[in-house]
Structure 1
Amino acid sequence: MPTITEAYVDSLAPNAGAIKNGRDLIKKNSFPVLNESPDATLLFGECNGSGKEPYRCSVDFVNEASPVFRCSCPSRQFPCKHALGLLYARAMGSPFTPAEVPQDIADKRDKAEKREEKKKDAAESEGNAPAAKRKVNKSALVKKFASQLEGLRLLEKLVLQLVQSGLGSVDKKTVQMIEEQAKQLGNHFIPGVQAKLRAFVHTMQTEGDREAIYSQAMEQLLLMHSLVKKGVSYLEKRMENPELPMETGTSLEEQLGHAWQLAELREYGRAQSGAELLQLSFLSYADAARGEYVDAGWWVDLSDGTVRSTRHLRPFRAARALKEEDTVRAVVRTEELFVYPGEVNARVRWETATQREAGEADYSKVKAAAAASYADVVKQVKNIIKNPLADKTPVMLVAFRSIDKTADGLCLRDAQGKLLPVTDLKTNGSATSALIALLDEKDLRDQAALVMFSHRLDDNRLSVQLMSIVTDSRFIRLLY
Structure 2
Amino acid sequence: MNTLTEAYVDSLAPNAGAIKNGRDLARKNSFPVRCVTEDRTLLFGACKGSGKEPYRCSIDFIQEGNPVFRCTCPSRQFPCKHNLGLLYAYVANAGFETADVPADIADKRDKAEKREEKKQAAESEGAPKAPRKVNKSALVKKIAAQLEGLSILDKLVLQLVHNGLGSMDKKSIQLIDDQAKQLGNYYIPGAQAALRELLLLLREANDREASYTQAIEQLIYFQSLVKKSRSYLEQRAEQPDLPMETDSTLEELLGHAWQLAELRELGRTKPSVELLQLSFLSYADHARGEFVDTGWWIDLEDGTIRVTRHLRPFRAAKQMKEEDSIYAVIQTDELFIYPGELNARVRWEHSRFRDVHEADYRKVKQLAAVSYPDVIKKVKNQVKNPLSDKMPAALVAFQSVERVDDETYILRDAQNKQIPLVSNLLETPQQPHVILGLMQPEELKDQAALIMFRHEMDSGRLVAQLMSIMTDSRLVRLLY
TM over 0.5: yes
**Does the 8 Å contact 2:225/2:387 carry over to 1?**
yes
Q: Within 5 A, what are the aligned runs for 1:26-175?
A: 26-126=26-126, 129-175=127-173
Match of 2:322 in 1: 324
Distance 2:287 2:131 in 1: 38
The counterpart of 1:387, out of the listed 371, 382, 385, is 385
| 1:49 partner amino acid | G
- SS of the residue corresponding to residue 390 of structure 2 reads coil
Aligned in 2, Cα 1:131/1:81: closer, same or farther, shift over 3 Å?
A: closer
CA-to-partner distance for each residue in 1:56-93, whole Å, 9 max, x for gaps? Answer: 21111111210111112121111111110001112223
Percent identical among aligned pairs is: 64
- Looking at structure 2, the residues matched to 424 and 124 of structure 1 have their Cα atoms a distance apart, in angstroms, of 56
C-alpha distance in 2 between matches for 1:200 and 1:450: 29
Per-residue deviation at 1:139? Answer: 2.4
Whether contact under 8 Å (2:2, 2:40) holds in the other structure is: no
Corresponding position of 2:292: 294
- Using the size of structure 2 for normalisation, the TM-score is 0.97
Residue 287 of structure 1 and its aligned partner are, at CA, apart by 0.4
- Rounded Cα–Cα distance in structure 2 between residues aligned with 1:97 and 1:274: 35
Match of 2:14 in 1: 14
Residues 433, 465 of structure 1: 8 Å contact kept: no
Unpaired runs of 5+ in structure 2? none
| Residue 270 of structure 2 is aligned to residue 272 of structure 1 | yes
1:243 is aligned to 241
What corresponds to 1:465 in structure 2? 465
CA pair 2-119 structure 1, distance change in 2 beyond 3 A: farther
Give the counterpart letter for 2:162 in structure 1: Q
The separation in 2 between residues aligned to 1:416 and 1:140, in whole angstroms, is: 57
Given the two structures, how large is their TM-score scaled by the length of structure 1? 0.97
Q: Give the Cα separation in 2 of the matches to 1:210 and 1:130.
A: 59
8 Å Cα contact 2:202/2:208 also seen in 1: no
Residue number in structure 1 paired with 2:186: 188
Corresponding residue number in structure 1 for 2:203: 205
CA contact (8 A) 1:60 1:68 kept: yes
SS of 1:285's partner is: strand
What is the one-letter code of the residue matched to 1:68? V
Per-residue deviation, residues 286-309 of structure 1 (Å, max 9, x unmatched): 000100000011111111110000
Checking the alignment, whether the CA contact within 8 Å between 1:2 and 1:354 is kept in structure 2 is: no
Aligned residues: 478
CA contact (8 A) 1:2 1:355 kept: no
Which amino acid is 2:34 matched to?
Answer: L
Q: In 2, distance between residues paired with 1:256 and 1:383?
A: 22
> Which amino acid in the other structure matches residue 417 of structure 1?
N
Q: Is contact 1:422–1:433 with CA below 8 Å preserved after alignment?
A: no
Kindly state the Cα deviation for residue 426 of structure 1 after the two structures are TM-superposed.
Answer: 4.2
What SS does the corresponding residue of 2:78 show, helix, strand or coil?
coil
1:352-411, Cα deviation, whole Å (9 max, x unpaired): 111111112222221111110111111111111100000110010100111111147211
- In structure 1, the partner of 2:343 is 345
Shift of residue 133, structure 1, vs aligned partner: 4.5
Residues 100-141 of structure 1 show CA distances to partners (whole Å, capped at 9, x for unaligned) of 222222222222222221222223234xx1543533322222
Contact 2:397 2:446 in 1 (8 A): yes
Stretches of 4+ aligned residues off by more than 4 angstroms: none
User: 2:428 matched to which residue of 1?
Assistant: 429
> How big is the shift at 1:214?
1.6
Distance 2:143 2:10 in 1: 44
Which residue does 1:284 correspond to in 2?
A: 282
SS in 1 for 2:437: helix
Quick check: 1:34–1:95 contact (8 Å CA) kept in 2?
yes
Is the Cα–Cα contact under 8 Å of residues 371 and 398 in structure 1 kept in the other structure?
Answer: yes
Rounded Cα–Cα distance in structure 2 between residues aligned with 1:2 and 1:159: 58
Amino acid of the structure 2 residue aligned with 1:334: T
CA apart distance, 1:49: 0.9
1:303 to 289, 301, 304: 301
Find the aligned partners of 2:441 and 2:472 in 1 and give their Cα distance.
Answer: 14
CA distance in 2: counterparts of 1:185 and 1:307, whole angstroms: 34
**Helix, strand or coil: the match of 2:204?**
coil
